[in-house]
Structure 1
Amino acid sequence: MAELTTTHVTAPDGTRIAVHRMGPEDGSGRPVLMLHGLFSSAEMNWVKYGHAPLLAANGFDCIMPDWRVHGLSDSPTDPETYASGVLADDAAHIMRELGLTDYDLVGFSLGARTAVSAVVRGLAPRRLVLGGMGLEGLTGWRKRVAFFVDMVDRYDEIERGDVAFLAKSFMKAQGIDRVAARLLLTRAVEDITVDEIGRIAMPTLVLIGEDDRDNGSPQRLAEALPEARVQVVPGNHMGSVTKKDLGQAILDFLQ
């Protein structure tokens, strides 16, 4: 497996963001920014199940930040560090710091909606992959986020059998700070309109697990995009990340 390296980039508000990279040893890889999902990390989403190693072995330089509140990045509890759109701003800041202008962009779940937000705000990847995402996950975030806010608020009460038990268990295993997580969920992520989605011009792959409709309809999302298609891989929302099919589909599209 290619070597994984980690550095930190400091956001304008002082938050330190961990950035992991994996690519050809000679530095010749094509950059691809890979954005992980909620309560996950670059390690969990992209490295553990082989997706980044596969891309690196095929000539890609995988650039994988941990979002603030996640992984090896800071988890500030100052509300001022959670301005609307801050994750998209973090992604853009990382690319500016690295001096990259020609790259691809891949996101899964929260990473996918952040990728869309970042493109709406000005990022211009050659190709775009939106994993684990449907139209309603972009246009109806407030409804979707209510589940996670309720889980955070009821954290100490949730037991096995509760609909939120799996999300709580994943959050706990990842060591997520609950105060910081609630600020991120309620302040930092905004809805995206259908009109904004319709202005995303680059070729886009909507990549979805066959049993995943957690974020709405992938078909409706593809229809809202000017140049997009849907590809189905095995698994549900969380399970699809563990399948090699996900990484292979990303590689095939980017190549």
Structure 2
Amino acid sequence: MSIEPRFFEARDGVRLAWREMGEGRPVVLLHGLFSNAEVNWIKFGTAARIAEAGFRVVMPDLRVHGSSDAPHEPEHYPPDVLVHDLEDLIAHLGLSDFDLGGFSLGARTSTRAVVAGIKPRKLILGGMGLAGLAGWSQRGQFFRRVIADYETAKRGDDTWMSIQFMKTMKIDRVAARLLLDSFTDTTPDMLAALAMPTLLVCGDQDQDNGSAEELAAVLPDAQLGIIPGTHMSSVTQPEMGAAMVAFLMA
């Protein structure tokens, strides 16, 4: 299934895209790094499962991703720019009572948004552990190498799979490098802001962003949902949507 994007203008004039499916209580879902709404949420049926359960699923393409613009000027990448974009989308759609979720970068952005004052009723963090929030600098260095090695990496290199994914998704390397520099860490003391019911849904072979169990232990109201898969494969599993629906319906 393919859904045509809609567009709005962020506060800095950059054109950003989002897609929607279903009717009912809004659930805003943010995709992972180098992916987009179509691949993370629509292609493998997660959005359809949530929509069928009676929700309006709102899925932006993050800046530099999918159908959204990828400007090359550094002024378009202040710290936490993706949080600003989410705030602008929420304002554009007039959302006041909604749930929020994301996978990997989308989970990190959702967390940063709550720390910044966005207050969803429920929160879903997919593919995320404590180290992925508090230790972004180390993970960030890996993705900077992915961009640096884009033309030279060989099969078997640790950056190879991420580079192939970037090429498949037609990610603009210049814009992606600028976006990486906008990401900020969420220290453990900031996590008290995540006081709403929170689902941590993570693949049983996924340690890419650290331990989901460690993150669950420090959040005020978290439950852990372990599903099959690695960081790359778990988001394709039907169990992802099933876990999210069960949490949102509870």
Instruction: Give the structure-2-normalised TM-score.
Output: 0.98
Counterpart in the other structure of 1:119: 114
Check if 1:72 corresponds to 2:72. Answer: no
Q: Distance in 1 between matches of 2:158 and 2:137?
A: 19
Q: CA deviation at 1:178?
A: 0.3
Greater shift after overlay, 101-110 or 5-14? 5-14
Counterpart in the other structure of 1:38: 33
Tell me which of 230, 242, 251 is aligned to 2:245. Answer: 251
Give the partner amino acid of 1:52.
Answer: A
Tell me which of 225, 231, 240 is aligned to 1:237. Answer: 231
Structure 2: gaps spanning 5 or more residues: none
Q: Distance in 2 between matches of 1:80 and 1:33?
A: 26
Tell me which of 96, 102, 117 is aligned to 1:101. Answer: 96
Tell me which of 184, 196, 214 is aligned to 1:220. Answer: 214
Q: CA deviation at 1:4?
A: 3.2
Q: Distance in 2 between matches of 1:200 and 1:57?
A: 27
Moved over 4 A (4+): none
8 A contact 2:149–2:159 mirrored in 1: no
Matches for 1:117-156 after TM superposition, within 5 Å: 117-156=112-151
Counterpart in the other structure of 2:20: 21
Give the partner amino acid of 1:254.
Answer: L
Secondary structure, counterpart of 2:71 in structure 1: coil
Counterpart in the other structure of 1:57: 52
Tell me which of 45, 48, 55 is aligned to 2:43. Answer: 48
Q: CA deviation at 1:182?
A: 0.5
Check if 1:177 corresponds to 2:177. Answer: no
8 A contact 1:112–1:130 mirrored in 2: yes
Number of paired residues? 249
For residues 26-52 of structure 1, the C-alpha deviation after alignment (integer angstroms, 9 at most, x for no partner) is xxx110000000000000000000000
Check if 1:205 corresponds to 2:199. Answer: yes
Q: CA deviation at 1:136?
A: 0.4
Structure 1: gaps spanning 5 or more residues: none
Q: Give the share of equivalent positions with the same residue, in percent.
A: 50
Q: Distance in 2 between matches of 1:199 and 1:79?
A: 30
Check if 1:86 corresponds to 2:81. Answer: yes
1:5/1:21 CA distance change after superposition, 3 Å: farther
Q: CA deviation at 1:5?
A: 4.4
Secondary structure, counterpart of 2:240 in structure 1: helix
Secondary structure, counterpart of 2:229 in structure 1: coil
8 A contact 2:21–2:51 mirrored in 1: yes
For residues 211-239 of structure 1, the C-alpha deviation after alignment (integer angstroms, 9 at most, x for no partner) is 00000011111111100011100000010
8 A contact 1:5–1:22 mirrored in 2: no
Q: Distance in 2 between matches of 1:10 and 1:216?
A: 34
Instruction: Give the structure-1-normalised TM-score.
Output: 0.96
Counterpart in the other structure of 1:160: 155
Secondary structure, counterpart of 2:101 in structure 1: strand
Q: Distance in 2 between matches of 1:45 and 1:72?
A: 14
Secondary structure, counterpart of 1:157 in structure 2: coil
RMSD: 1.0
